[in-house]
Every structure is written in structure tokens, then in C-alpha cells.
Structure 1
Amino acid sequence: MMSLACIWANVCRLATAARAAAIALIAASLIGGCGVVVRGVQDSYNGLANSDWFWHGRHGDLTEEQRQWLATAWRYVANNTHPTTGLVGAIDGYPVFTMANVAEYLAALHTAKQFEQVGAKEFDERLSLLLDFLNTMALVDGVLPNRSYHTASGQMVDAAAQPGIVGWSAIDLGRLLIWLNLYRRHYPSFAEYIDKVVLRWDFCRLLDGRGQLTRGEYRDGGWLPVQEGRLGYEEYAAYGYYLWGQMPTLADRFEPYERRQFYQVPLLVDGRDPRVDRVIDPLLPTPYWYAGMEFNWDRWDQLDDDDDTDYGRLDLARQAHSLYLVQERRWRRDALYTARAEHILSEAPHFVYDAVFGLGSPFPTLDAQGQFHNEAALVSTKAAFMMWVLWDTEYTDALMGVMRHLYDPERGWYEGRKERTAGYDQSLTLATNAAVLQSMLYKQQGKLFRAPPPMSRLQRVLGDEFIHPGRCQPVLEFSSR
């Protein structure tokens, strides 16, 4: 089996367009990072960072222009859906996707259904094709999804679209678990088929005994679980495991961390030393903002709470707000539009972390090897839309003023605007267009997790002593509430 280093070497030999797509896919799967992180947090924010009223998002019916934004984002999905398999590529014109991309597709399809961008029959066809794939796709060691698959064949591939098994990602699967659980709630007639998807997986290889997320790495002739995760994405992915009855307790903690302050805004950053632990440590806002749109920063077991001013995970909410506020203050004090996220680029290095903090520096742009590319920073379309719906402020109004036209009406939304020159990066991805769709749904209805879970086949299987699949399976003990 190929190591990640071998995969990177093969990617570097690809043609330019293919290489850009391949690097983006691999790097996106590495957002979780490596190294053991033991976390614990003390609440000591003050002033505006503690003001609940500030966190109220931008809510209300969509305007005609905003409905056009919605339609443009869905066009990416329509254009990149394989006509036979129904699978959607991660990058425009490139036939590879990850399990995180499946979650993005589910988010896009759910939004399109809610806004009647797709009718009942098209929704049924799309979801049925996807569930059929998830229930029949080849698995690593027969127990967990590979990192990436091919949209045309549905077979396991590496990020360069070549046949290959590259292991699994607990971070990617955590996000997919979130969206599969949301579909159980909103579309209970499909709950049986969704449960069958998850019952195929071996959760003992996704979580160790301490509740730490683990990815699959090929060593000594077999696939071994190795710690995966980074501040932000671990806590967000933990929601998915909790929702299916697992206990990702270590992944859910803010440890170890350091306190930093930029523009008089307090932030928690990864406490590992990259020189010692040999990991890069970009602090990215997107996982905290997904947690806001999807859960309103509630605890996983408090999702029935409809009070949008009450946050069961105040630590996540404060960090999310601080990550917004430090970007607003950079705009006010340095006259720099700022909307940071991980994203692909149309030119080398093809994928970067546009971070708020990383490798000891504020606002670095880092590639997957930890090299600086600050000249490649973007004002991210994905981040701009998320900020705009989560914070109704003068800054997000100004930000949307320079981002609202970054699209091709026939292809979808571009990745972003170059921070230094104002030029467009015209790359198109499922991640960005799904984020635009999801943001519009959040504006319309607030937090996305509201519907209670249904009873379904999962309870039937787990409650039968003769057909119970074993201890490494989901539990959903709370689902009968």
C-alpha cells in the first residue's frame, strides 16, 4: 500500500490540472493533522467576546438576489454529478471525491430540497443513488470507507484518480456521520437505508479506548489506527460520533492549547510545538463556523433547544466569535478584507491553509508541508458566506459587497478573491458551493439540527441478541427520546 509520502510523490508527477485537483483532495483530507493532542480549556474571555447578543446571525427570507446565489451554487452540483452513478466530484471536472465531499453533497442536496431547487422525484433519485453506493462500495479491510473514490466507477482510488487504497479518515467520516444523522431526522423514510450504511463500519478503528479519533495508516503489512485531528476539526467531527452513540471524549477537548492575542482578541491555538511534534498547526475558522450553522454551538444531546441565544458549547461559540472578530479588526485597522479558510488554488501550490494563526505567525498561508505562501492568500468565498450569515455586522456587509459577484452563472461560485491583488481565483469546488447553499439555508431557518430522530432499523438490529453486529457499532441510545 502507498504511504502518504508516496502519494504526494505521485501527485507531483501529474499534469498541472490533475495535480492541482489531486493535491487539493489529499491536503483537504489532512486537515485533521497528526500527533496526539490532549486537551482542556479554561473559560477566561471577557468583554465583547462574552456578549451573547453579538452572536445572533443574519436571519430571514431570501431576497431575489440571494435566491440567485442559491441557484448558482446548485449549478456546480448539477454540472458535476456523474450521469450513471449520481456521485459528485470534489473539484470541477475532476472525478474524485472523499467522504467529507459526500457530506458536502448531502448538505447541498438537503438545501436544494428545502428551497425547491430540486423536486421530490429528483431528490429521491439522487439520494437513492447515493445510499446505494454507500451500502455497496468497497471498504478498506472490508470495514471502513477509503479516503477517496472515483465518481464514474465508484472504486477506491488515490487522490490522483489512480486505483488505490489510501486508508480512512476519522475526521472526514465524522462530518459524514453528522449529515447522515440529519437525514435520518428530516427524511425518516430513508432512515433504514442510512442505518445500514453506518452498520457496515467498524467504529473500533475510528476511536481508540480514550475517545481519540484515529485514521488508517498502512504499516508493517496492515492498516493501523493512528491519531488524527487538530484543534477545531476534532471538536467538530466529535459531534458526528456522539450523534451515533459513540464517546469521542478526548477528541472533544480543547487540549493542549496556548493563549494568543491579536488585535486585542483572545484566541486558543494548538499547543503543540511544530518543531518537536512535526505537525503544522493552522488555526482555521471553518469547523467552528460549521458547528454554529449546524448546531448553534449546542451540545450534541441538547439539539432540541430552539433558543438561539443559548450555547451548550460556550467554548466553541467563543472561539468561533473570536475567529470572526480578529478578521474584522484586521480589516478595520489594516484595511485588509479577510475571510480565511482552507481551499484549493488554480496555481501552485494548489492547496493551502489560509489560517488565522500557524507556525508562530498571524495570518499565514501554508501548504500541506508547512511552507509559507502568503502571496497566495485568498478572501475565501466559503468563509465570507459563513461569516455573513453568522454575524450581521458592518464588516460582513462590506465583505459581501466585494464577494457577491465571484461566480460563473453557468458553473458555480469561485474559490475566492486574491487578497493582495483583487483578482479572482476561478477554481470551482464542491466545498465552496455547498457552503454557499448551507449558508443560505441557515439564513432562512437558523440552526440546521432541529428535527427529532426517528425510530428505525438500527434499534431493531441492536436490540436483537441474535443479530446484534457487535460492540464496534453505533448505539443511538438516546434516539427514542
Structure 2
Amino acid sequence: MRLRQNLVRARGHIVFILGVIGGLMVVTWLEQAGPSAAGQAPVTPLAAIEAATPLPLAIRGASSAADLDHAAIAWTYFRNNIDPNTGLVHSVDGYPSTTMWETGSLIVAIVAAERLSLIDATEAKDRLAAILTSLDRLPLFQDSLPNKAYDTRTLKMVDYANRPTDLGLGWSALDVARLMAALAIARAAHPDMAPAIAAATDDWRLDRMVRDGQLYGASVVDAEVRENQEGRLSYEQYAAKAMMLSGFDMVRAYDPADSAIIQPVMGQDIPVDTRLHRGRIPAFVVSEPYLFDGLEFGFDARSSRIASAVYLAQQARHDQTGHLTAVTETHLDEAPFFAYSTVWGGGAPWSVLTFQGDRIDSRRTLATKAAFGWDALYGTPYTAQLVEAVVPTADPRRGWPEGIYEVDGTTNASITANTNALVLAALAFKAAGPLLRGAP
């Protein structure tokens, strides 16, 4: 009886506490879903995207003199940064560390350079063969899959400071999938190399990173190996396509219907992943995976519509603000040295995020690779402006830097394998279409 009386007396406090808890739950959900650019609730499902009309592609079928000059600058990066003993490339100019992602970029760069006649078939095959030899020699994490990072000079597993590590860091399913996409491109360009390409990865346990149609990566945390589902909308679908080429069932990773909502940004319906990124922050939307998809594979019906919306939102931001906008993930030439410049990220449009999810909007970069990539795909007057803006930043002795900081117009002077590879892929696309098409 006393308990009942006390509950009755405390009912006001109980209602208040329950109200606070309920409110916190709602706020948490809204923070994860994020408001739309117009303050509207997110729209679901993806029907708006399925009904949209994509932009037409702009394959030119030839290279201009300027295109070839730009491609030669990009290839200079690889001439400077490919290790002569291993055939692998530094991820950043002069820094002898690499990942499977950059190794995929290197392969793409070689195939693109050959298409643009910057190198001949003999050089291309020699460089590809050196990479395959090194892939076959890599020490694998738990004797299963490539470690997240390697020293380009020794092929030793390293940590992110390029220090040797016996245990390793784990594996990235997205990085390995990016490499598998590049190997498929190399096989299409040089079918006679198919046996060597297959042999280079024969010992890899690719099945460990594919489970129930999804991708799984592994990380070492306090000396414990933890495996988690990896990939968010856009990167996940690109990686799924890559693994399909190796015969894996990737149906869950390829179909975003269960993990996507629509966020209106600048009048465009932008699909956004509802899952948190790395368990900490709302997922983000950048240009790069859509550029890879179009330039390497050729868009499918869905990705062409999403890519169009992602591009048009950036054009609309320029039209509204006057700021040339071509955003994606980029290295930075100062701390924290890496950022995601997003169309939507961390619950808001146009946020710039660190790896940990902190906002650093002052480091928004007009990205060189996004400028060349969107121009190759769509060839609009706006994309021509983007390329024109970044051209003066080129360093003919070192390659293309990451781009231009929006806040003050200075150059983001970091020079990387990924940017220079994407410039080459874009210019090869202008001349001959998607790289996976095979030899022109």
C-alpha cells in the first residue's frame, strides 16, 4: 500500500522523467537522421530517385591538346612515386606508404595512361606485372587478406605512421574491393594477363570479407581483432559491383533500399545512408564513389540518377552562393591532413568533417579530382569552369594538387596518388568511355 501511495505522490515526477527520456530518444533519432537543407523531414523511400531523369553523358571520343597536357602532368606523379623495386606507389608524394585503395588507383592510372598513349603497351604490362608480383608477395593479415597499409619499399605491414607491425591493422573491405575493381579493369585491357592477375590473389580469403551479401572489414582494437559490416551508401554499391566481378553474391550491399532516405539539398533529392558512419556520426555524401562508378564501370540506371543529383546540387550551390563547388574526400596540406567535404554529412548539408566527425568547414576544397571527374562525365559549362579554376594549380614536375581552399583561394598543396589517378581516368573516359569497356 505504501509503495502505491508513494507512486501516486510521485506521479508528477515520473511523468516528467518519462517525458525527458522520450524527448531525448526523439532528439537522438532526429540528430541521426538529420534535418534537410530546407528544414523538411527526410523523405523515404527512393521512389523520387527512380523517377528522375539522369543527365546525359559527354563522351567526346577524342582528346584535346589540353587534355593530353593535363594527363601528362598527372602521370608525372606516378613516374616520381612508383617504387622501382616493388612497383607500388606512394599514397602521398614522397611518402613511402600505400594501401590497397592506392594500389587500385595505380592500376587505373596505368590503364588510363596507356589509353592516352602516355605509355605503350609494353610499359603498361611491365608495370602491371611488377604490381602483381608484389601483391603475391604481400604478408597478409592473419594469413587471410591484405593489411590496411604497407611500406612501398619493403612490402612490410605497417601502421598509419608507416612503422612496421607484426600483428597489422586489420583489413578494409572497401580498399580490397577497390583493388579488385582495378584488377578487372587491367584484365579487360590485357586479357592475356588474366592468369597472372588471378594468381596474384589466389591465396587471399576474399570470402572472409563477404558475408550474407555484405562487406565486412576487420580492425585491431586493444590487440583484439574485431570484424564489422563496412560500407555506406555509394561506396558500398561501388564495392559491391567490384566483388560481383569476382563472382560474389553482393545483393544486400548493392541494394540500398533498406538503409537510405532522401534529403533535399539545393532542390535535389540526395540519397543518404541512415546508418552511422564508423559508429559515431551520420553518414556522408561525397562525389568520389559516383565518379569511380561512372568513369570505371559506366553507370547503371540507379547510379546515373543519383550521380546526376549529387552533381546538380553542387552546381546549384555555386549558382546560389557564387562559390565553385566540387566536393569530395581530400587530403589536406595541414593538420588534420584529411577531410570529407560533403554534399550532406554529419546531419547537415555542405559540412566538412574530420575522420572523427568534427566540423572543419574552413578546409572545404574545390577538389581537382571532382572537377575533372564531373567534367568528363557531363561536360557542362559549369564543369568547364571547375577545370579552368584548378588548372593554374598544376605542378608539371610533381602532378596535380588536391585543389583550392574555398575560404581564401589558396592551393591545397597536398599531392596524392588518388587525385592524379582520377584525373587520368577522367581524361581517358573523355576519349574512350568507361575503363572497364576494354581496349578501345
Normalising by structure 1, we get a TM-score of 0.78
Q: How does 1:73-472 map to 2 (within 5 A)?
A: 73-164=74-165, 165-208=168-211, 210-218=212-220, 223-254=225-256, 255-272=258-275, 277-298=279-300, 314-451=301-438
What SS is found at the alignment partner of 1:213?
strand
Distance (Å, rounded) in 1 between the aligned partners of 2:276 and 2:152: 39
- Compared with structure 1, are the counterparts of its residues 325 and 80 closer, same or farther at alpha carbon in structure 2 (3 Å cutoff)? same
1:122 Cα deviation (Å)?
2.5
Distance (Å, rounded) in 2 between the aligned partners of 1:329 and 1:279: 26
1:224 Cα deviation (Å)?
4.3
Asked if 1 retains the 8 angstrom alpha-carbon contact of 2:108 and 2:185, the reply is no
Show CA shifts across 1:224-267 (max 9, x none).
43211111100000111100100122211213122111221111
Aligned residue in 1 for 2:34: none
- Compared with structure 1, are the counterparts of its residues 81 and 216 closer, same or farther at alpha carbon in structure 2 (3 Å cutoff)? same
- Compared with structure 1, are the counterparts of its residues 436 and 273 closer, same or farther at alpha carbon in structure 2 (3 Å cutoff)? closer
Aligned residue in 2 for 1:43: 47
Distance (Å, rounded) in 2 between the aligned partners of 1:177 and 1:447: 16
1:221 Cα deviation (Å)?
6.2
Aligned residue in 2 for 1:57: 58
Asked if 2 retains the 8 angstrom alpha-carbon contact of 1:205 and 1:225, the reply is no
**Higher mean C-alpha deviation, range 264-273 or range 171-180:** 264-273
- Compared with structure 1, are the counterparts of its residues 41 and 204 closer, same or farther at alpha carbon in structure 2 (3 Å cutoff)? farther
- Compared with structure 1, are the counterparts of its residues 348 and 222 closer, same or farther at alpha carbon in structure 2 (3 Å cutoff)? closer
- Compared with structure 1, are the counterparts of its residues 74 and 167 closer, same or farther at alpha carbon in structure 2 (3 Å cutoff)? same
What SS is found at the alignment partner of 2:413?
strand
**Higher mean C-alpha deviation, range 400-409 or range 104-113:** 400-409
Distance (Å, rounded) in 2 between the aligned partners of 1:194 and 1:117: 23
- The one-letter code matched in structure 1 to 2:199 is K
Distance (Å, rounded) in 1 between the aligned partners of 2:117 and 2:302: 36
Distance (Å, rounded) in 2 between the aligned partners of 1:253 and 1:401: 37
Aligned residue in 2 for 1:7: none
1:198 Cα deviation (Å)?
2.5
Show CA shifts across 1:65-85 (max 9, x none).
110100000000000011222
Show CA shifts across 1:135-173 (max 9, x none).
111111112111111011111111111012101111011
Percent identical across equivalent pairs?
33
What SS is found at the alignment partner of 2:254?
coil
Distance (Å, rounded) in 1 between the aligned partners of 2:220 and 2:101: 21
- Compared with structure 1, are the counterparts of its residues 420 and 218 closer, same or farther at alpha carbon in structure 2 (3 Å cutoff)? closer
1:131 Cα deviation (Å)?
0.8
Show CA shifts across 1:184-224 (max 9, x none).
2221221111111222111221111x211000123696644
What SS is found at the alignment partner of 1:216?
strand
- The one-letter code matched in structure 2 to 1:246 is F
- The one-letter code matched in structure 2 to 1:256 is S
Asked if 1 retains the 8 angstrom alpha-carbon contact of 2:87 and 2:134, the reply is no
Gaps of 5+ in 2: 1-43
Distance (Å, rounded) in 2 between the aligned partners of 1:267 and 1:83: 44
What SS is found at the alignment partner of 2:269?
strand
1:43 Cα deviation (Å)?
2.5
Distance (Å, rounded) in 2 between the aligned partners of 1:147 and 1:221: 15
Distance (Å, rounded) in 1 between the aligned partners of 2:187 and 2:126: 17
1:451 Cα deviation (Å)?
3.6
Distance (Å, rounded) in 2 between the aligned partners of 1:318 and 1:393: 16
Distance (Å, rounded) in 1 between the aligned partners of 2:201 and 2:385: 43
Show CA shifts across 1:269-293 (max 9, x none).
121367x952441211211121111
Show CA shifts across 1:424-453 (max 9, x none).
11110000000000000000011222249x
Asked if 2 retains the 8 angstrom alpha-carbon contact of 1:284 and 1:341, the reply is yes
1:381 Cα deviation (Å)?
0.2
Asked if 2 retains the 8 angstrom alpha-carbon contact of 1:58 and 1:388, the reply is no
What SS is found at the alignment partner of 1:59?
coil
Distance (Å, rounded) in 2 between the aligned partners of 1:123 and 1:56: 28
1:405 Cα deviation (Å)?
2.0
Aligned residue in 2 for 1:71: 72
What SS is found at the alignment partner of 2:296?
helix
- Compared with structure 1, are the counterparts of its residues 180 and 167 closer, same or farther at alpha carbon in structure 2 (3 Å cutoff)? same
What root-mean-square deviation, in Å, do the aligned CA atoms of Structure 1 and Structure 2 show?
A: 1.9
1:369 Cα deviation (Å)?
0.5
What SS is found at the alignment partner of 1:88?
coil
Distance (Å, rounded) in 2 between the aligned partners of 1:266 and 1:260: 6
Distance (Å, rounded) in 1 between the aligned partners of 2:90 and 2:138: 16
Q: Which has the higher helix share?
A: 2
Larger Rg: 2
Asked if 2 retains the 8 angstrom alpha-carbon contact of 1:43 and 1:315, the reply is no
